[in-house]
Amino acid sequence: MPDIHPENVPGHYVEPPSARRPEELRQPHKKRLRLRRRRRRDLDEETRERRRLRIRRHGRRAYIRSVYSLPSLATLGNAICGFGAMYVASMENFSAGAADVDHWTSFVGQHRFIVAAYLIFFAMVFDALDGRLARFARHTTDFGGQLDSLADVVSFGCAPAFLALQVFHDTMRDANQFIAPLLSRLIWAIGALYVSCAAIRLARFNVSNEHGEQHHFSFLGLPSPAAAGTIAAFVLMQQDLFEQQLVGISRLCLWVLPFLLLLTGLLMVSAIRYPHLVNRYLRGRRSIARLLFTLALLLLLVIAHRYTLGLGTLIYALSGLVSSGFLRMRRRTATASAKMLQKHQA
């Protein structure tokens, strides 16, 4: 029987294998769609999720790139507020009718300690914003972390110590009270110790820090913004007592200020755990009682914010010390009870 294969027929063109269309294209249109759907279903779920995230990221890239500089600007605002607090605290007390001084300079000079304390709180606001802006822009870098620590040393290390020393010395000088040279040097040494503790605290935080809000539910040692806020709020409360002509209580707060500076400095480098108030108590679903407590705290801030800030920050700074002592006493009691139980069983 003769071979009638098309390749053996004279004059018949045979399509080379390289030019042949794939099997999917030779199928009818509906069958091709079915094959594509089947292949799409066969894709791994993780691959599809990666593709989806990549598409979403490319869509938002132009928007996010426009806010890359905002975290650094907020960090620099933090440092500028700290520097401004030191500059304002060292200003002269200009008289109200001075001819060569404008109105704003005269006002700031007369209330220099209050303005400096508020500038430290503005620095705390900038410090809270820069980290959240960096996580929002997905642009957390080592440069930003180091810049943030340098700004914190200025705003929460140098500025509170300088403010406390200026308040103490200027108030004593205005009251015509003599300060022994040894006591003056001792108070200066306390301020230097506070600055050193703040620098050590921030360096330790940089070494052990983990990115992400899920890792920031507690702090090892008193956070430097909380320590600075305690000093600034205490100065605000002392100045308000002085303005209300409560000279005795104001003088008592003035003598407590150096010891508070020493205590907060040592608490920054301690091993005591302090809770992150926002992440632990304000995020997620909370009870009605906690909501009412937060509302009452906000109302107190509106009514008497200086006393609320002063007492609130002081309670937060001392809460870690009290809770640590209470836990240590419970452990000792539990250990003693276990030893007594072992003796009775023996």
Q: Where are the domains of the chain?
A: 16-66, 67-337
pLDDT at 64: 47
Q: Does the model's pTM come out above 0.85?
A: no
The set of residues, in sequence order, having a beta carbon less than 8 Å from that of 116 and lying 6+ positions away, is 84, 85, 86, 88, 89, 159, 163, 166, 232, 235
Q: Which residues, in sequence order, are CB contacts of 226 under 8 Å at separation 6+?
A: 274, 313, 316, 317
9: tokens are: 């027929």
Token pair, residue 25, equals 């294209």
User: Distance between CA 330 and CA 322 in Å, rounded?
Assistant: 12
Report the largest interatomic distance among the alpha carbons of the chain, rounded to a whole angstrom.
132
For residue 98, the model assigns a pLDDT of 57
Neighbours of 7 (CB within 10 A): 7
At residue 109, the pLDDT reads 78
Q: What was the pLDDT predicted at 123?
A: 93
Q: How far is CA 211 from CA 140, 148, 204, 268, in A?
A: 8, 14, 15, 21
Consecutive 10-residue runs of the chain (346 residues): their mean pLDDT?
Answer: 50 50 54 68 64 58 56 88 92 64 77 91 90 72 81 92 90 67 86 93 79 62 90 91 84 89 92 77 68 84 87 88 82 78 73
Q: Give the residue among 274, 281, 280 at the shortest CA–CA distance from 313.
A: 274
For residues 74 and 130, the answer to whether their CB atoms sit within 8 Å is yes
